[in-house]
Amino acid sequence: MSVHFTPAARTDQAAAARAGGSAGPDWSDAEIAGRVDALIAQMGVAEKAGQLTQYFYFNLPRSEDTEAALPADFSPQHAMVEAALARGEVGSLLFITDPAEVNRLQRLAIEGSRHGIPALFGFDVVHGLRTILPVPIAMAASWDPDGIEKGQAVAAREARAAGIHWAFAPMVDIARDPRWGRIVEGAGEDPYLGAAVAVAQVRGFQGDGLGSPDRVIAGPKHLAGYGAALGGRDYDEVNLSDSELWNVYLPPFQAAVEAGAGNIMTAYMDLNGIPATGNHWLLTEVLRETWGFDGFVVSDARAVHNLRTHGFAADLTDAGARAVKAGVDMEMAMVDPAYAHLPEAVGANLVDEEVLDASVRRVLTAKVRMGLFDQPYVDEERARKVLADPAHRAVARIAAQRSAVLLRNEGDLLPLTGPGSIAVIGPLADSRRDTIGPWAFDFDLNETVTVLEGIRNRAGEGVEVGYAPGIRPAQRTFPSMFDMFGNNAPVIPAEFDEDAERDRAVTLAGESDVAVLVLGEWQNMIGEAASRSSLELPGGQLALLQAVVATGTPVVLLVMNGRPLDLRWAAENVPAILDIWYPGTQGGAAVADVIFGDVAPGGKLPFSWPRAVGQVPVIYSHTISHQPGDQGRRYWDEASTPLFPFGHGLSYSRFEYSDLTLDRVQIQGGETVTVSVTVTNAGERTADEVAQLYIHQRYGSASRPSRELKGFRRITLAAGESQTLRFPLGPHELRYWNAATRAWVIDTTTIDVFAGGDSTAELTTSFTVGTCAC
């Protein structure tokens, strides 16, 4: 059976594309395998290497100033990629978001290929394409898998409509060191929460599976350990113990694979001395043989090429051969792909052609499943409509409301009820670009609502809203590589009288009933290549905050961030602190919903919030060691507890936990105990609570963490309402990887159970586990 497409067939495809939507193929697995194998049998080795190569092709809006900052090989790169397309030697392209450009390049791919093979288009659809959702760490802070799934389904719908088939997301790297800028892209420090968020995102992107209409391939990344970069420095080496790797860093990947993710991206750095992108153990023994992953693996950008840079591969031919043998099906390349040397590597017997065939089979199977052979082109008119769908912005607004975390609320300053005047202060309060956050390129700033605009729109008649930035935006010492794209760098006002602006802000605050300060990091200070050596509020923000607080006007601090910042002074001197993260397109509207009390905040921290940078990493799930009573006094100059614990988040209401019971107090290993706990809204208004369940194993064949999250549920309760929640604790929750036996074990032991609203929960009970029946 051949799947060669004649020109007539291509015309049919274009007609099908014009009909709109994405038609998943109705082919059975056997039919797909037959068609793919028939194609492979007709392909030459250069065509195969081409199918395994993905090229960057930037067509993002760029300002004139930044044109100069582009890599020297940028324009020739377009010509080089188009020449490769004409030879039928491109498997995939990335960074194209314009549907017309997708169609043009797709036509080149199909017409250039002797077999009419279409290209896959991939993009970093990290938290939305046009409609930008809150950043991923914020979505994780919602502890709301259903909401996260809905959000990423919107992102997928927009991406697919624009012609993108594949999202390089979710990032499921555990991050325990907030100096690492990419903490903003993940779900924080905890493997259980991380796995739940990973699964929700995979479902959101992919729907019921590859080829679902309006969905894209999910590409969890970066396998593995990237978040543990030495010193929090992006791309630096990672050294993880066997126990940390299996118990902490790998579970979100395994969960994403079990949820059916169609792709996995490798990591840039060395993992325990071996580059992740050349790591056969990781990519083949763990990913494919242990977890049964049957999708395709892509390298991170230039990571195959970089095997030479790492001092691992001798040259590009060696790099290509070793990466493909390790299990990297596709190389993400910019210029000079290592996989262009695969024909040479096959000729020199460095790699068997069958290894290439296996990778080509995986890539072509994904293309068939995504319906690309049936419908390679995109309907540009439909794309415009889908991207403008107001329903998407409604989802983004709810996502932002649900992400907000109330860190402190002395004297119930929030919600604001009836102030006559509000002073909104800080440059971030009125910056559309920063409200969106990092890893967004295709946004529409006209659709974006800043905090100032949200407050103005909501405050209503009779409330005076004044604004003063107070200071200029702070800047990085070293510029961001993302600044080269238009609209991405902060706008620094040319004329700015610092003293006068500071005085104006302080005076405005002093004359107002309440001051709302929006402080944090500018969005180009967080994300990839945005590591920091400090967690302080950049620029003159702390001084501004202190001057405003000194006026005596009550202060609400809204923190715009993707990592914890040093808020020690604020936590003692500012009555209300709400973490709003980078809340996305509808951010300002959602923030207004929360601060005026239209909805109550219900988010919880997905990481332990350190007091200062010297504490990092600080995690709630540390093991218990010598002098446990001094756990909070491990430093002589500062408490060693976090400023806010993992799972912390206040509400406008108050919740009580009671009746923590078990359906049995003794089980055999392999059996399941069901925990019940009753949560009561003891306050006076409807609000959400995230009930959390933690365990501690008292003894066993390894020391286990003092607490481990093993269940959570976000619920809405009316005033006075109670709900009894049930959580199973079975093999999945009780097993762990034992580094001594190098195996998963369930110990004979006693397990303490804790339930409550954060990781310091005190309500407790316990059960025993007998010899494993497994």
Catalytic residues, by residue number, are 300
Nearer to ligand BGC, 306 or 681 (CB): 306
Residue 23 beta carbon to ligand BGC: minimum distance, rounded to whole angstroms: 27
Burial (CB count within 10 angstroms: exposed 0-12, middle 13-18, buried 19+), residue 418: exposed
CA–CA distance, 370 with 24 (Å, rounded to integer):
6
Q: Hey, how many other C-beta atoms are within 10 angstroms of the C-beta on 49?
A: 28
CA–CA distance, 412 with 626 (Å, rounded to integer):
40
Tell whether omega for the bond before 30 is within 30 degrees of 0, i.e. cis: no
- Among residues 737, 731, 724, the alpha carbon closest in space to that of 710 is found at 731
Residue 171 beta carbon to ligand BGC: minimum distance, rounded to whole angstroms: 7
- Among residues 631, 640, 634, the alpha carbon closest in space to that of 612 is found at 640
Nearer to ligand BGC, 287 or 548 (CB): 287
Strand partners, 468: 425
Residue 169 beta carbon to ligand BGC: minimum distance, rounded to whole angstroms: 8
Nearest residue to ligand BGC, scored by beta-carbon proximity? 168
Q: Hey, how many other C-beta atoms are within 10 angstroms of the C-beta on 245?
A: 20
Nearer to ligand BGC, 126 or 250 (CB): 126
Q: Is there a contact between 767 and 665 (Cβ–Cβ < 8 Å)?
A: yes
Question: Any contact of residue 374 with ligand BGC (CB under 6 A)?
Answer: no
Site string for ligand BGC, 526-545 (x = CB under 6 A): --x-----------------
HSE at residue 588, side-chain half, CA atoms within 13 A, is 26
Interacting positions 678-737 with ligand BGC (CB under 6 A): none
Using CB under 6 A as the binding criterion, the count of chain residues that bind ligand BGC stands at 6
Q: Is there a contact between 325 and 351 (Cβ–Cβ < 8 Å)?
A: yes
Site string for ligand BGC, 150-169 (x = CB under 6 A): ------------------x-
Residue 43 beta carbon to ligand BGC: minimum distance, rounded to whole angstroms: 27
Phi/psi of residue 708, nearest 5 degrees: -140, 130
Nearer to ligand BGC, 61 or 770 (CB): 61
Amino acid sitting at position 309: T
Q: Is there a contact between 713 and 675 (Cβ–Cβ < 8 Å)?
A: no
Site string for ligand BGC, 107-126 (x = CB under 6 A): -----------------x--
Q: Is there a contact between 312 and 321 (Cβ–Cβ < 8 Å)?
A: no
Q: Hey, how many other C-beta atoms are within 10 angstroms of the C-beta on 350?
A: 17
- Among residues 686, 197, 655, 554, the alpha carbon closest in space to that of 403 is found at 197
Interacting positions 260-319 with ligand BGC (CB under 6 A): 300-301
Phi/psi of residue 560, nearest 5 degrees: -105, 110
Residue 286 beta carbon to ligand BGC: minimum distance, rounded to whole angstroms: 20
- Out of 160, 221, 393, 713, the only residue in the binding site for ligand BGC (CB under 6 A) is 221
Nearer to ligand BGC, 302 or 397 (CB): 302
Nearer to ligand BGC, 223 or 679 (CB): 223
Nearer to ligand BGC, 299 or 692 (CB): 299
DSSP labels, 518-548: EEE--GGGSSTT---S--SPPTTHHHHHHHH
Residue 93 beta carbon to ligand BGC: minimum distance, rounded to whole angstroms: 12
Residue 184 beta carbon to ligand BGC: minimum distance, rounded to whole angstroms: 12
CA–CA distance, 170 with 219 (Å, rounded to integer):
6
Residue 101 beta carbon to ligand BGC: minimum distance, rounded to whole angstroms: 17
For the chain, give me the number of helices (H) and strands (E)?
A: 25, 26
Distances (CA, A) of 17 to 101, 116, 226, 364, 382: 15, 16, 39, 20, 10
Residue 397 three-state SS: helix
Distances (CA, A) of 696 to 56, 699, 762, 769: 47, 9, 12, 12
Nearer to ligand BGC, 300 or 521 (CB): 300
- Among residues 644, 651, 721, the alpha carbon closest in space to that of 687 is found at 651
Residue 195 beta carbon to ligand BGC: minimum distance, rounded to whole angstroms: 19
Nearer to ligand BGC, 246 or 485 (CB): 485
DSSP secondary structure code for residue 653 in this structure: S
- Sign of the dihedral defined by the CA atoms of residues 680, 684, 690, 692, in that order: negative
Nearer to ligand BGC, 277 or 759 (CB): 277
Residue 65 beta carbon to ligand BGC: minimum distance, rounded to whole angstroms: 22
Query: What does the angle CA 209 – CA 211 – CA 217 come to, to the nearest 5 degrees?
Result: 70
Measured in residues, the chain has a length of 774
- Sign of the dihedral defined by the CA atoms of residues 209, 211, 214, 220, in that order: positive
Nearer to ligand BGC, 270 or 566 (CB): 270
Residue 168 beta carbon to ligand BGC: minimum distance, rounded to whole angstroms: 4
Residues of this chain that bind ligand BGC (CB under 6 A): 124, 168, 221, 300-301, 528
